[in-house]
Amino acid sequence: MTDSHELEVLRRAVGEPPPAADRRVVARTRLDAAIAAELAVGRRPRSRRSLLLALGSTLLVLVGAAVYLAVWSSAPVSALQVLAQAARQVDPLDVPPGAFVYTTSERIDLGSMPGGNLPGIDDELVGYLLPTSIESWRRDDGFVQLVTTIHRPVFFDPMVEEAYYRAGLDRVDRVGDTGSETFADMGGAFAGIVWPTDPDQLLSLMEELIPQGEGQPPREVRLLNLAATLLRGTVIEPDLRAMVLEVLASLELEVDAEDESLIVAVTYQDWALTRYSVTFDERGNVVAESTILIDGADMPYIPAGTVVSHALYTPPVIVPDLLPPAP
C-alpha cells in the first residue's frame, strides 16, 4: 500500500524548483481560461470575446485552474519511476464472483457543425463544448452496463447558442437525456494480448499498438494516450500498471505536480499549438485527461485557450449490484 512516506520520497526525488518563464506563461493561460469558465457558470456569455472557455461543472473548473500551479520539472523520469514503485505496492483489487467494478467519468468535448445548419449563421463552421457523465458497471464475465447523461452544451457565441436551440439541435444531441445500455465486452482492443514483463519489451509492443501513418500526432502523444487507455478505469495487475509508468518514464515527457498527483504531458504543434496531458493519482490510477489549444487555432470558431477535451475519472471500486456505491 502507498503511504505518506512514499509521497515524501517522490517529492524529494524531483524537488520543487520555480517554474521556468515559458511554463509560467502556460500556467497563466490555463488560469485565465479557468477563471473565464467559472465566471460563465450561471450566466450566458455576452459575446465571443467574453468567453474563452466554459466547462459545465465547478469540478472541471477547479481542475483546470490547478493543473499548472505547481511544477516538478527538474527530474521527470525520477518522478514517474517513484510513482511506478508506489503503484507496484498497491494491493490488487479483489473482485468477488458476481460483483461489479464501478467507475464514473465526467467529460466535456468539442463539437462542430456547418454554420449553414443553423438559421441566421453565416460562419462556415461553428463549435461548442458538449459535457457528458458516464457511470459504468463491469463484471468479469464480460457484462457491461453504461448509464450516460448528456448535459447542456457550452457555446463560444450567444448567437450560435440561440440558433442551435431554435433549430432543435439539442434534441439531435439528446441534451438532458439519460440513457442506459448493456452489452457483452469480450476484452475490447486488448483482448488476447500477453503483456511483457520487461519494460523495454512492453515499449516495443506499445509502439506496435499505436496508430501509424501520416497525420498522426508525435510518438510521445500516441504512447501517452495508449497508456491512459490501458490504465483508466480498469482492473489490471499492479506490476503491469507500474511497468506502463516505467515506459512513460523512458519518454521525453513533461511532468508536473498538483497536490498528490502527477500530470504527464506533451506540448506539440498540430493545427494549433496543443497540449495533451494525463493526470495520475498517488496509486498510478488515471484520474484526468485534457487537451488544450494553447495558441490561436487556424479555425476561428475555436478561441485560443480552449480545453477542447477534458475528462475526470474515478478509480474503480467494487459494488455488489447495479447501483452506485453508497456515499
The percent of the chain in helix, strand and coil, each rounded to the nearest 5, is: 35, 25, 40
pLDDT, tens digit, 9 for 90 and up, residues 259-303: 789 999 999 988 789 999 999 999 999 999 999 988 866 667 788
Q: Is residue 224 part of a domain?
A: yes
Q: Is residue 145 part of a domain?
A: yes
Q: What is the mean pLDDT of the chain?
A: 79
Q: Is residue 245 part of a domain?
A: yes
**Count of domains observed in the chain:** 1
pLDDT, tens digit, 9 for 90 and up, residues 4-30: 443 343 333 333 433 433 343 334 334
Query: Is the distance from CB of 161 to CB of 44 less than 8 angstroms?
Result: yes
* Among 9-23, 79-93, 222-236, 285-299, the least confident range: 9-23
Cα–Cα distance for residue pair 86/77, rounded to 1 Å: 14
Q: List the grid coordinates of 4.
A: 505518506
Reference 149, options 182, 104, 118; nearest CA is: 104
Reference 64, options 52, 73, 76, 74; nearest CA is: 52
Query: Is the distance from CB of 298 to CB of 101 less than 8 angstroms?
Result: no
Q: Is residue 324 part of a domain?
A: no
Reference 63, options 261, 230, 268; nearest CA is: 261
Question: Which 3 state secondary structure label does DSSP give 169?
Answer: helix
Residues listed for the chain: 327
193 exposure class (CB count in 10 Å sphere: 0-12, 13-18, 19+) = exposed
Domain that holds residue 184: 4-319
Cα–Cα distance for residue pair 47/51, rounded to 1 Å: 7
Q: Is residue 252 part of a domain?
A: yes
Mean pLDDT (whole number) for 75-84: 78
Mean pLDDT (whole number) for 179-208: 89
